[in-house]
A and B are shown apart, each in its own frame.
Chain A
Amino acid sequence: MSTDVTNTPAEAPPGKSGSNDTGENLVRLMLDGMRRNMRQYGMLIALGLIVALFAVWTGGDTLLPHNVSNLVLQNSYILILAIGMMLVIIAGHIDLSVGSLTAFVGAFAAVMTVQHGVSWPVALVLSLAVGAVAGSVQGFLIAYLGIPSFIVTLAGMLIFRGLTEILLKGQTLGPFPGGLQKMGNGFLPEVGPTTNYHNITLLLGLAVIVFVVLQEVRDRKRQQEFSLDVLPAKLFLLKLVALVAAVLTVTMMLASYKGAPIVLLILGALVVGYGYMMRNAVFGRHIYAIGGNLPAAKLSGVKDKKVTFYVFLNMGMLAALAGLVVAARLNAASPKAGLSFELEAIASSFIGGASMSGGVGTVLGAIIGGLVLGVLNNGMNLLSVGTDWQQVIKGLALLAAVGFDVWNKRKSGS
């Protein structure tokens, strides 16, 4: 076993003889992996198709740099919520309160900054703290008192909506100080010589590319150190090229408009951080374990109550962040902010591969699901489809995604 690996160092020329057998094995492995994550891969392909379709229908408008930029800004808060919601759903729960909570935190931030002149960094920290407290109260009721999450968060939905109206006295409050505004609408600052592109964004894109490549190479080396099977050199190269191309495309698009939106950076950090946590952190594993089989997780020594509590605390914090972004984007806190956000976040998670019974799903899936909804919204807006039909179509998309998954599972007999 170990001799087998030492004579295939990383620099081995592509297509070296002897890798045939393992190569075949790996292709099967990859297909296996794809089959298992059918919903996610299916949705990635569906997302590509939807983008292509709208690009054709709108005569290319969908892919214009400023529209791509808009797409990010318009959907950022749903995507932030979808990340937290995915965790909640994987743990086997649901959170209906996040829409109201985003409104409440937006109102709280507005009252502090606009009415009391609190500086924006302080307001930011306090707002996140409010979200964390709200989340932990709900988490406590669910985890330690055993009240079903549906009930607790349904109550939360009403309570936070009501508190928002009380805070704002039914009126819209704004504008926000500059620092907070940037969270919703801001772009990275520009420096350096005038090119046709946004310099910092280009540099950032380059940094991401370098990081991704290094990470992949390091990962491959580690796998070899542990004498595990690795992708054959050819396939590995192909994967690298595809990754680089994807990052490059997005970078160029953003760089040819106003540059990367600040909220995209926040979102990027969240996706990488939470994705890594769900995959690699003990805490993430425990979330999957309690959602997949609660009695088994308990008997394995997983502290299920604590895990549940933190999942809801986290959801509260992310809802607060989303609330700040929404308020900043509209540059005002409104009593009607965040209406039905919870439903969009839940729909994103299910489109992205979550299961009603818990234990299944990925952060990336939630993002893909959110983008499917976002692109549908955006594309239909460009085509001036009314909100009436937009809702019908989004509903059908949710049904189709989950229906396809159910059908696919039944077919494979699992």
Chain B
Amino acid sequence: MAGPVLEMRSIVKTFPGVKALSDVTLTVRQGEVHAICGENGAGKSTLMKVLSGVHPHGSYEGEILFEGDVCRFGDIRASEQHGIVIIHQELALSPYLSLAENIFLGNEHARGGFINWNETLRHATQLLRRVGLTDHPETRVADIGVGKQQLVEIAKALSKKVKLLILDEPTAALNDEDSDKLLDLILELKKQGITSIIISHKLNEIRKVADSVTILRDGQSIETLDVKAPETTEDRIISGMVGRDLDHRFPERTPHHPEEDAAPALEIRDWTVHHPIDQQRKVADDVSLHVRRGEIVGIAGLMGAGRTELAMSVFGRSYGRYAGGTVLKDGKEIRTKTVAEAVGHGIAYVTEDRKHYGLNLIDTINRNISLTALDKVAKRGLVDEHEERQVAERYRKSMNIKAPTVFEPVGKLSGGNQQKVVLSKWIFAGPDVLILDEPTRGIDVGAKFEIYTVIDKLAAEGKAIIFISSELPELLGMCDRIYTMAAGRLTGEFSRAEATQEVLMRQMTKDKEVTR
């Protein structure tokens, strides 16, 4: 067996307030495909950013050895000179430049500042062949599909004489056919002697291409398994990923026993959404679910499972292209074609991305809280500022928003306090159904508990709550019922009693039933 090409020893990386990596060790052998898996937030991407120099030497602790030499990369260029190339989850191609121009971007075939087009095109064609593309190198990137774009990224990596290729969830945005092509290419490159690290949480993918897998959990490397060994089953990997104690605290919750005969507060039937650009891809595929008054229903899924896309699509068609399905409120079909209609029917969607979709960061707390329901503090189209201020003061106290006054711009608040403002805003709107998308993402433990308490109180008041989260302990601690989603489809439904981390993770990592 070949020796190690890469060793990362005791890597520690701290961000202000958060320890993203605490003691990670990773050993990759020459010529293998090494998978890294772990839950969202386990530290996979951070580790790869440390390796590729995005987080430069000095900003982390620990040691990196590549081909036996100690490496201190100051930036991406430095790591690329050693033949380490990372392909990020979000593609980094310039859409209106040609394939050839993209492949050699920053690395042009040029003399004296002028590009040698003949050499560029010749070399580009050759590289495109190597990744299995027959498109003309002068085609614009925007004119080829996402799957092919991923391959162009790899061609770009090859142009840099790559020795170690890092792929961060390369198939997350691809359909089945493109995924297969990409995985085959990784195996092909392996034959040519290129070592790969692939971050993925699709277990069938890992089984297909990887030789070994390292499991990360809460910023630590838990174990490295030999994928080909018979004892490495999917269950074995799953138990490594979730094997954490329930270390978060949750408010005491009396599980809700809804009256089965009453119509659900919200029911979604056969909902299907296509990706806004890639029309072939279904981001939500024939999803049906419901939630009753006073009930907290979880949706578990890994990144790219389609949870946010489903929620946003139901909420005023705010994402993708609607391709079918109905929404029922209290047993009656309703229209939710626009956000205003959805809000009018008493639905609220609290976004996972509060900075981009939730708040006007340059505006004050009071104005953010009142925005969705301005009519409640307005008479004949005119806002009563005093009443508005009083409402905001009320939420500042009841939600414990830490700010000197309600006139503070929300951009200056901490993540937890921003989240409380978003919640206040939607609670003020007075909805019957709240869809909470990752309501505790990126906030500290204390604020998390406060938010759990608020959610619990809302349910006790008879609101129906859909709770989308990637943190299984949180779902297990809060929900009466949990759905699992994977690749746009519902893969399971569990009562509070049935649900365990292992059971959920198994359904969350389930790809299409048809195995390859």
Give A residues with C-beta under 8 Å from B: 28-29, 32-33, 36, 222-223, 225-228, 276, 279-283, 285-286, 288-289, 292-293, 295-303, 359-360, 414
Q: Is the CB of A279 within 8 A of B372?
A: no
> Contact: B385 with A279, CB < 8 Å?
yes
Within the complex, which residue of A28, A281, A293, A295 is in contact with B381, where a contact is CB–CB below 8 Å? A281
- Is there an interface contact between B359 and A296, defined as CB atoms closer than 8 Å? yes
Q: How many residues of B contact A (CB 8 A)?
A: 43
| Known pairs A228-B390, A414-B412; A280 contacts B383 (CB<8 A) | yes
Asked whether A285 lies within 8 Å of B360 as measured between CB atoms, the reply is no
The answer on a CB contact under 8 Å between A359 and B390 is no
Q: Specify which chain B residues have a CB less than 8 angstroms from the CB of A276 in the assembled complex.
A: 382
Residue numbers in A under 8 Å from B385 (CB-CB): 279-280
CA–CA, A286 to B338, complex, Å?
Answer: 17
Cβ of B339 within 8 Å of any chain A Cβ, yes or no, is yes
* 10 additional contacts (CB under 8 A) given A292-B360, A360-B362: A28-B404, A36-B409, A282-B378, A282-B383, A286-B374, A288-B360, A288-B367, A289-B371, A296-B360, A300-B425
Interface residues of B in 340-389 (CB under 8 A from A): 340, 342-343, 349, 351, 356-363, 367, 370-372, 374-375, 378, 381-387, 389
Q: A29-B405, A222-B386, A279-B385 are in contact. Are A292 and B363 (CB under 8 A)?
A: yes
Contact: B360 with A359, CB < 8 Å?
yes
Interface membership of B10, Cβ < 8 A: no
- Taking CB atoms, residues of chain B closer than 8 Å to A296 are 356-360
Number of inter-chain CB pairs below 8 Å: 96
- Residues of chain B contacted by A279 (CB below 8 angstroms): 383, 385
Please pick, from A36, A223, A283, A300, the residue contacting B371 in the complex, using a CB distance under 8 A.
Answer: A300
User: Which residues in A have their C-beta under 8 angstroms from that of B393?
Assistant: 228
Chain B residues 161-182 with CB under 8 Å of chain A are none
Contacting pair A285 B382 (CB below 8 A): no
Find A301's partner among B340, B357, B378, B384 (CB 8 Å cutoff): B340
Known contacts A282-B378, A292-B360, A359-B362: A301-B383 contact under CB 8 Å: no
Distance between Cα atoms of A110 and B390 in the complex (Å): 52
> Please, could you name 11 A-B residue pairs with CB atoms under 8 Å apart, sorted by A?
A28-B404, A226-B386, A227-B390, A228-B393, A285-B374, A292-B360, A293-B361, A296-B360, A298-B339, A301-B316, A414-B412
B357 touches A299 (CB 8 A): yes
B149 within 8 A of A: no
Nearest CB in chain A to that of B391: its residue:
A226
Q: Mark B278-322, 1 if CB is under 8 A from A, else 0.
A: 000000000000000000000000000000000010011010000
Q: A289 to chain B: which residues have CB within 8 Å?
A: 360, 363, 371
* B117 lies within 8 A of chain A by Cβ: no
Known A-B contacts A226-B387, A289-B371, A303-B340; the reply to A295 vs B356 at CB < 8 A is yes
Find the residue from A223, A293, A414 having the highest chain B CB count within 10 A.
A293
Residue B96 lies at the interface, judged by CB distance under 8 Å to chain A: no
Taken together as a complex, chains A and B put the C-alpha atoms of A223 and B412 apart, in Å, by: 26
Q: In this complex, which of A276, A285, A300 has the most chain B Cβ atoms within 10 angstroms of its Cβ?
A: A300
| Contact status A301-B343, CB under 8 Å | yes
Residue B325 CB within 8 A of the other chain: no
Q: Which residues of A contact B41 (CB under 8 A)?
A: none
A283 to B382, CA, bound (A): 8
Known: A29-B405, A226-B386, A299-B357. A282 touches B374 (CB 8 A): yes
Q: How far is the CB of B21 from chain A (nearest CB, A)?
A: 27
Contact partners of B60 in chain A: CB under 8 A: none
**Residue B411 at the A interface, CB < 8 A?**
yes
Q: Which residue of A lies closest to B349 (CB)?
A: A299
Of A288, A292, A295, A296, most B-chain CB atoms within 10 Å: A296
Q: 6 closest A-B pairs (Cβ-Cβ)?
A: A292-B360, A226-B386, A293-B360, A301-B343, A301-B339, A300-B372
Minimum CB–CB distance from B79 to chain A (whole Å) comes to: 31
Q: Which of B401-418 contact A (CB under 8 A)?
A: 404-405, 407, 409, 411-412
Inter-chain contact B372/A301, CB cutoff 8 Å? yes
Closest chain-B Cβ to A269's Cβ sits at a distance in Å of 17
Once the chains are docked, how many angstroms separate the CA of A283 from the CA of B383? 10
Q: Are B382 and A280 in contact (CB under 8 A)?
A: yes
CA distance A65 to B483 in the complex (A): 76
Encoded as 1 (CB less than 8 Å from any A CB) or 0, chain B from 195 to 220 comes to 00000000000000000000000000
| Chain A residue with the shortest CB-CB distance to B426 | A300
Complex interface: chain A residues within 8 A of B362 (CB): 292, 359-360
The answer to whether B386 and A223 have CB atoms under 8 Å apart is yes
**Closest chain B residue, CB of each to CB of A413:** B412
**A28 / chain B contacts, CB cutoff of 8 Å:** 404
| Bound Cα distance A29, B404 (Å) | 9
Determine whether the beta carbon of B357 is less than 8 Å from that of A295: yes
Query: Which chain A positions have C-beta within 8 A of B360?
Result: 288-289, 292-293, 296-297, 359
A228 to B425, Cβ gap below 8 A? no
* B374–A299 CB distance below 8 A: no
Contacts A282-B383, A285-B374, A300-B339 known; A292 to B390 CB distance under 8 Å? no
CB distance from A219 to the nearest CB of B (A): 8
Q: What residues on A are CB-neighbors of B357 within 8 Å?
A: 295-296, 299
In the bound complex, CA of A297 to CA of B343 (Å): 13
Tell me, in angstroms, the Cα distance from A293 to B358 when the chains sit together.
9
* Complex contact B371–A302 (CB within 8 A): yes
Per the bound structure, the CA–CA distance linking A293 and B338 in Å amounts to 18
> Once the chains are docked, how many angstroms separate the CA of A285 from the CA of B369?
12
Given the known A-B contacts A285-B367, A303-B340, A414-B412, are A293 and B383 also in contact in the complex, defined by CB atoms under 8 Å?
A: no
Q: Mark B133-174, 1 if CB is under 8 A from A, else 0.
A: 000000000000000000000000000000000000000000
Q: How far is the CB of B378 from chain A (nearest CB, A)?
A: 5
Residue in A closest to B342 when the chains form the complex, CB atoms: A301
Bound Cα distance from A296 to B418, whole angstroms:
14
Residue in B349, B382, B386, B411 whose CB lies within 8 Å of A228: B386
A414 touches B411 (CB 8 A): yes
How far is B383's CA from A414's CA once the two chains are assembled, in angstroms?
29
> A281 — which chain B residues lie within 8 A by C-beta?
381-383
- A298 and B342 CA atoms in complex are apart in Å by 12
Interchain nearest-CB distance for A377 vs B (Å):
32
Q: List, in ascending order, chain A residues with CB within 8 A of B312's CB.
A: 299
Check B375–A292 contact: CB distance below 8 A. no
